[in-house]
Amino acid sequence: MTYRYERDLVDHFLDVIGADQAPWGPLALVPEFFYHRGRVDVVGVSPIGRVIAFEAKLTRWREALQQAYRNTCFAHKSYVLLPMATARLAQQYSAKFDRRGVGLCSLVDNDLVVIHDSPWNVPIQPWLAREACDRAIEAQSRCDDDV
């Protein structure tokens, strides 16, 4: 699939992962989680409170990798989300992802494909992980109220 804008990639990702297609199980989702170091495109929180961050880019995978690495300060797992053509290019540099403890994923049709898994991480800023959890639970609660 071709994406014109990064937002299109993120919207497709939210549709796929919102349909419980995540390999980590169902996630409460927060698009655009802001914190003092920046903005994360999507944060997902598992039922047991594990925070998973996703940085989306169409082509600038190195920039996304640095942003995803920064997110490990609060996330238990952090991923770069790219269109498949860009992900294949980035996959050639898997050692860079390993060094930073960051994963790589893409979308194929309506499936999320984890190309390079992120290791579980112990956040060095647990208070920020709790804030992400709180926002995800609040967002999920608002969505449940709308149904």
Residue 1 scores a pLDDT above 80: no
CATH of the domain at 121: 3.40.1350
Count of H helices and E strands in the chain? Answer: 5, 6
Q: Specify the number of domains making up the chain.
A: 1
Mean pLDDT of 104-116: 94
pLDDT-derived band at 19 (thresholds 50, 70, 90) equals: low
Residue 46 lies in a domain: yes
- Give residue 46's domain range: 6-146
Average pLDDT on 26-55 reads 88
pLDDT, position 136:
84
Contact 113, 138 (CB under 8 A): no
In a domain, 80, yes or no: yes
Reported residue count of the chain is: 147
Per DSSP, the residues of 98-126 read HHHT-EEEEEETTEEEEEEPPPP---S-H
**What's the pLDDT score for residue 11?**
95
1 in any annotated domain: no
Q: Would 96 be classed as within a structural domain? A: yes
pLDDT at 147 over 80: no
Average predicted confidence (pLDDT) for the chain? 90
